[in-house]
Each structure stands twice: as structure tokens, then as C-alpha cells.
């Protein structure tokens, strides 16, 4: 029994391997870009959340100062 493989089969396998190897770098770059975009989105979300927290602290400080001013004005 001969161990021969038809040439069309070997060509098909070779073409598939070349295609997979050729598409690898493009796929890797796409995944890398997607990961960077996700990281930047999370950074913007964190910045927005921090800004909101600082606004709450500022509002609390302003309310405390107004209470002190009102109390000082009432006692004078």
C-alpha cells in the first residue's frame, strides 16, 4: 500500500496554514486595540466618578461653611 497523498489535498492544507499564519498579526493587533480602548474607557469612567465625588465634598464643605456663617451671624 502506497503512502501517497493527492497533491490537491496537500495544496489545500498548505493554503489553509498560510492563511491562518497570515491573519494572525492582524487579529492580534485588533485584540490589542480593543483592550486599549476598553482600558481608556475605564479610565474615563473612573475620572468621571472621582469628579462627582469631589463635587459632593465641595458641596458638603460649602454647606458647613454656610452653617458656620449663619450661626456666627445669629450670635452677634
Separation of alpha carbons 44 and 55, rounded Å:
17
Q: Quick one: pLDDT at residue 2?
A: 57
Q: Quick one: pLDDT at residue 9?
A: 83
Mean pLDDT calculated for residue range 34-48? 97
Cα angle, residue 60 at apex, residues 54 and 62 outer, rounded to 5°:
105
Separation of alpha carbons 20 and 64, rounded Å:
66
Cell of 27: 487579529
Per-chain mean pLDDT for the chain: 91
Amino acid at each position: 500500500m502506497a503512502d501517497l497523498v493527492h497533491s490537491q489535498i496537500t495544496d489545500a492544507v498548505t493554503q489553509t496554514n498560510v492563511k491562518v499564519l497570515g491573519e494572525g498579526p492582524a487579529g492580534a493587533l485588533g485584540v490589542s486595540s480593543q483592550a486599549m480602548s476598553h482600558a481608556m474607557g475605564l479610565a474615563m469612567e473612573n475620572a468621571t466618578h472621582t469628579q462627582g465625588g469631589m463635587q459632593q465634598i465641595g458641596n458638603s464643605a460649602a454647606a458647613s461653611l454656610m452653617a458656620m456663617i449663619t450661626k456666627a451671624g445669629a450670635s452677634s
